[in-house]
Structure 1
């Protein structure tokens, strides 16, 4: 499980909207400037403030909670999102090179078409095929004491 701390900002039925709490730097972060991945995200300006998560323990607004997501779900999503376009790019480059008398132009055209086919395939694949497990609230705490916990149930 990959876990992080958050604060509930609003609830909607069985879901909660949470804001991730900043945490202390890990061993891979620069102690002065913080996490490099957060800095890169801020550079592009697409950092999302609030996230929707499953709320099986009925956490309320302003509760401090622990959010979890299964590691396998992240790996599966990353393989689909990166692996499929990359694989089709390489396949397209190979086919372009073989079909056009082994010229660089055929390779480039094939690679471009393969790359576009990879993204088109991602749009056309059923969402259940690559849908990651939705993050959920594992526990909530008051001043560092765990109040209620939820266990992940495996369905496979």
Structure 2
């Protein structure tokens, strides 16, 4: 099944097994103002003014210094951001509400802490797994 992909140009700076560390000229995919864009470029430019280097899968065997095209499924960045931020926030609030229901303020704080810890452990476990398909992860699709 073909999915729409977003691409960006980069230069391979270092290699690490089946991965490459690439440097892009602009932070993000450049689709901030389009449908499906997450707007992350404006946020990263506020906090990061230096070079933008990312670790991506090197499925074509690019070498150091190669100009390459990186692809990722359209919308996967916003889905990942929602997963990493919204899930822990929601579970933290649910833990606080559940704790408050059973025992007041102290229980609410404990419930919030437990909920946050569980959510972070889940996010970490999912991020280290080989979940999703290749197009959901940034990868090199061609030499430019």
TM > 0.5 between the two? yes
Deviations 1:27-55 (A, max 9, x none): 59xxxxxx532333327xxx775333223
Aligned partner (choices 45, 57, 60) of residue 60 of structure 2:
57
Note the aligned Cα RMSD (angstroms). Answer: 3.6
Determine if the alignment matches structure 1 residue 39 to structure 2 residue 39.
no
In structure 2, how many angstroms separate the alpha carbons of the residues matched to 1:139 and 1:124?
A: 30
Structure 2 counterpart SS, 1:107 = helix
Q: TM-score, normalised by structure 1?
A: 0.59
Structure 2 counterpart SS, 1:61 = coil
In structure 2, how many angstroms separate the alpha carbons of the residues matched to 1:98 and 1:109?
A: 12
In structure 1, how many angstroms separate the alpha carbons of the residues matched to 2:125 and 2:18?
A: 29
Deviation at 1:21, TM superposition (A): 1.8
In structure 2, how many angstroms separate the alpha carbons of the residues matched to 1:106 and 1:76?
A: 32
Aligned partner (choices 58, 65, 72) of residue 69 of structure 1:
72
Q: Which residue of 2 aligns with 1:5?
A: 9
Determine if the alignment matches structure 1 residue 16 to structure 2 residue 17.
no
In structure 2, how many angstroms separate the alpha carbons of the residues matched to 1:111 and 1:22?
A: 38
Gaps of 5+ in 1: 29-34, 142-156
Q: Which residue of 2 aligns with 1:117?
A: 118
Q: Which residue of 1 aligns with 2:37?
A: none
Deviations 1:122-144 (A, max 9, x none): 34568327578432112222xxx
Quick check: 90-99 or 58-67, which moved more?
58-67
Quick check: 69-78 or 111-120, which moved more?
69-78
Taking the TM superposition and a 5 Å limit, the aligned residue runs for 1:73-152 are 73-100=76-103, 103-123=104-124, 127-128=128-129, 133-141=136-144
In structure 2, how many angstroms separate the alpha carbons of the residues matched to 1:49 and 1:59?
A: 19
Contact 2:92 / 2:112 at 8 angstroms: preserved in 1?
Answer: yes
Gaps of 5+ in 2: 35-40
Contact 2:23 / 2:53 at 8 angstroms: preserved in 1?
Answer: yes
